[in-house]
Amino acid sequence: MAALTRNKKNRTNSQTPPLNKRTKSSPMKKAAKSQKPPLKKQRRCIPEEKPVIATDEEEEEEIEQSLQGDEGSESGSDFFSDGDGEDVNDDGDADDLLDGSDDEEGTLDSDSDESDIEIKSRAIDKKRKKEEQDAKDEFTMNIKEQPDEFQLPTKKELEAEALGAPDLPNLQIRIREIVRVLSNFKDLRPDGAKRTDYVDQLKADLCSYYGYNEFLIGTLIEMFSVVELMELIEAFEKKRPTSIRTNTLKTRRRDLADVLLNRGVNLDPLSKWSKVGLIVYDSQVPIGATPEYLAGFYMLQSASSFLPVMALAPQEKERVVDMAAAPGGKTTYVAALMKNTGIIYANEMKVPRLKSLCANLHRMGVTNTIVCNYDGRELSKVLGQNSVDRVLLDAPCSGTGVISKDESVKTSKSADDINKFAHLQKQLILSAIDLVDANSKTGGYIVYSTCSIMIPENEAVIDYALKKRDVKVVPCGLDFGQPGFSSFREQRFHPSVEKTRRFYPHVHNMDGFFVAKLKKMSNAMQPTETDKPAETMRQAQVSSSDDDEEAEAIEELKKPSVANGQPKRESNTKEYKKRQKFPRSKETHKGKRNTSIKSESGSGTVEEPRKQKKKRSQWKNEIAQAREEKRNAMRENAKERPKHRK
């Protein structure tokens, strides 16, 4: 038994040294030991280098108490080892006690580790709650700073803003608030506020933020609701996707797409409504300089330019006129639909644009087109009235639908420009209607289109054509698009104008466009308003000149013409009566004949101007004779005056 106890003592001594020896080590040994990794007991005493976590005072006190408890346990073990160091070597029961204390210390270590994790997790949770509370407090503070109801800026604030540079973030916030109020003005308006004040402020802010002039913004506000207006303006700030049209005279869309995909062009079919269009997202090569483009396999063309040709729907072996053809996108599309049959008259008024038109026609392989350079208003006189089957009129316009391509439209267009374009478009559409033959078996259609969204250039022009020519509006054959305006403010148009189609960038993701299709019902021409005033003015001028001449003649006839000191008034009056007898009798007889013709045929309006012409010619001859007689008398008097002086 003694041997067993000794071995046990030696084993315990070899496994764990006495606590007093570990605690009473020299400072050099402590420095050496500090380089080694600490034990479990020492890890609890050494603070770990971790990010500092803000805790409350209670948690700090708990951590200090736990740390003090650990130090107390160590000091108790040291005290136990110091007092009974020699007895430990002699007594086996003490060894059993020490063994039991090691097990208890292991359980204490695990408990203390769990307590530390719980404390840290509580601290993290508390920190999160504190951050959330701070965020809520900040949010509520910001809400309290801003008033519940939006208030328009005062005159002083506007004057201060005008002096400095525009504050774009502030403008954007104000625009949003005004739009929010105007969208439900009945419920959201402040007491005593007027809608006009909000609208005027919105106009000013949009002009300064987006760079529009007052006229254009005012017109758009009248046309669209406030929410839709903002969507439209934002759409104008973005560019439309690039689209190309397959030339079916040379290739198919599937084959062209495969070739371009191999060249690194990322593309997709345009839409369900087009069988030849492709939309290009990006390209590793210039899309306008590929071998396929130079070979005429496709045409760079906006999606909105497809629509007028699709509405026209030309048939093979027809006579078609494109009144404003350059640069040739629509003309080549018409030729592809006609499969190079029939005749296309591609007219372009501006000579510099003829180069691009001819180049595209040759590149695309079009062979049935005649290029001409005439004013579209005179084209019906050149080609002849009622001579073609269909006419495509893509009229020149203000370009308010393609602001994303040309931002100068924001500031360059005014009400006078819109009126000038509208006047030109009315003349062009009447000329286009006169070109079309109403008796055509397959045609008799006119398609009118513009890249503008202004009502005076679109619906007003169609309504004018309906009043001046025997035409009617027919469906365009397009499944999408918004109907045209049948009324706008005080203007009221024909109800059939709703069959026209409008296209917007914020709705259809294409340029703003207008398309209308007309069917000519008969070849009868109605006089236009511009012709009637011209005729009446001429008649008024002629009548006024005749009246003046008649008055002069009467005065001259009344004046005595002295020749050789003898008055010739009686001779003149006698000759005047003799000359006037026969013509008057003839005229009276002819007038009686004309009246008999009127009673028999019922059409006597043609003979009245003839009487006037004969009378006018007689008066002119009489006036000329009277003037000559007066001049002769004056000459004779001039010759006789020197003799009397002598």
pLDDT one-digit tens code per residue, 194-217? 889 999 999 999 999 999 999 999
Residue 72 labelled as part of a binding site = no
pLDDT on residue 481: 92
Residue 159 labelled as part of a binding site = no
Dihedral sign for Cα atoms in the order 226, 228, 233, 237: positive
Residue 92 burial (10 A CB sphere; 0-12, 13-18, 19+): middle
pLDDT on residue 54: 45
The answer, yes or no, to whether residue 122 has pLDDT greater than 70, is: yes
Q: How far apart are CA 223 and CA 506, in angstroms?
A: 15
Residue 583 labelled as part of a binding site = no
> In the predicted model, what is the mean pLDDT of the chain?
76
Q: Of the residues 45, 358, 372, 451, which is catalytic?
A: 451
Q: Which amino acid is at 57?
A: E
Whether the bond into 327 is cis, omega within 30 of 0? yes
Quote helix, strand, coil % in the chain, to nearest 5: 60, 10, 30
Residue 292 labelled as part of a binding site = no
Residue 329 labelled as part of a binding site = yes
Structure tokens at 572: 């003149």
Residue 348 labelled as part of a binding site = yes
Q: How far apart are CA 630 and CA 646, in angstroms?
A: 26
Cβ contact 270:279 at 8 Å:
yes
Reported as a single tens digit per residue, the pLDDT across 246-304 is: 999 999 999 999 999 999 999 999 989 999 999 999 999 999 999 999 999 999 999 99
Catalytic site residue 358? no
The answer, yes or no, to whether residue 442 has pLDDT greater than 70, is: yes
Q: How confident is the model at residue 137 (pLDDT cuts 50, 70, 90)?
A: confident
Picking from 518, 512, 517, the residue whose alpha carbon sits closest to that of residue 305 is: 512
Q: How far apart are CA 578 and CA 160, in angstroms?
A: 91
For strands 469-474 and 487-488, give the pairing.
Answer: unpaired
